[in-house]
Amino acid sequence: MNAGLFGGTFNPLHNGHIDVIKYVKQAFHLQKIFLFPSATPPHKSMTELAPARDRLDMVKGWVTEQDGFYASDIELKRKGPSFTIDTIKAFKKSAFENEIFKKKHGLQLNFSLLMGSDAFFDITTWKKQELIFRAIPIIVMLRGDRTGIEPIASFIDEHISKGYKLNKGLTKFTHKQMQPICICNVPKIDISSTMIRARVKENLSIKGLVPANVENIIKEKDLYK
């Protein structure tokens, strides 16, 4: 069974996240996608960051209405900054030895890591990035902000490894020792968490930009004011 892991600050979760992961789920035949909010994002400024519990509740509230999407608090339970390599290991460990997880999600999960192209271009600053490329296939969602495969190909060549080969369809980089890096051209959706926070601050409507449950949490908790 194919499963996607999708981490983010989700500050807040918005329809851009949702539309692209729904698209990738279909395109890559993923039966499940696990969304995991990060507790202390090592790469993001901490100003305007809603409490982790609220961001998790946003994701939890949305997944309860969906088939094949799950919320995970795996990064919130760990102390200190959240590093993706540790999360990947923790998911694999649960899939292998956690009886409750196995009962709920089945015995054989092939995980892939989903990330937007902006996060991918930032990956060289991530802890133990080489281990990530060895541990898990990556699906890069091309957000349309950097068009075409060229920038990805030269980034991989320059910063990750010269050993990757691009397939004829220009959708997959393979390597003898590393897991594949796949490219998914997702529809361009001009929504970001930054934009949502700015709209809330200016008392502008965020209807249609975030799921209804997220809008409610932002209102109830008076976030981003």
Binding footprint of ligand ATP on the chain (CB under 6 A): 8-11, 16-17, 20, 115-116, 118-119, 141, 143, 186, 189, 191-194
Nearer to ligand ATP, 9 or 213 (CB): 9
Nearer to ligand ATP, 122 or 158 (CB): 122
- The secondary structure of 68-134 as a DSSP string is SEEE--HHHHSSSS--HHHHHHHHHHHHHH-HHHHHHH-S--EEEEEEEHHHHTTGGGSTTHHHHHH
Radius of gyration of the chain (CA): 17
CB of 121 to ligand ATP, least distance (A): 9
Nearer to ligand ATP, 95 or 186 (CB): 186
CB of 216 to ligand ATP, least distance (A): 19
C-alpha closest to that of 200 among 224, 177, 183: 224
Nearer to ligand ATP, 9 or 112 (CB): 9
When CB distances to ligand ATP are compared, the closest residue is 116
Nearer to ligand ATP, 112 or 193 (CB): 193
CB of 212 to ligand ATP, least distance (A): 18
CB of 11 to ligand ATP, least distance (A): 5
What's the rounded Cα separation, in Å, for the pair 116 and 121?
A: 9
Encoding tokens for residue 200?
Answer: 């809330």
Half-sphere exposure of 175 (CA within 13 A, CB side): 22
Q: CA-CA distances (angstroms) from residue 219 to 100, 192, 201, 203, 207?
A: 35, 18, 12, 11, 12
CB of 195 to ligand ATP, least distance (A): 7
Nearer to ligand ATP, 11 or 82 (CB): 11
What's the rounded Cα separation, in Å, for the pair 198 and 209?
A: 13
User: Cis peptide before 42, with omega less than 30 degrees from 0?
Assistant: no
CB of 40 to ligand ATP, least distance (A): 13
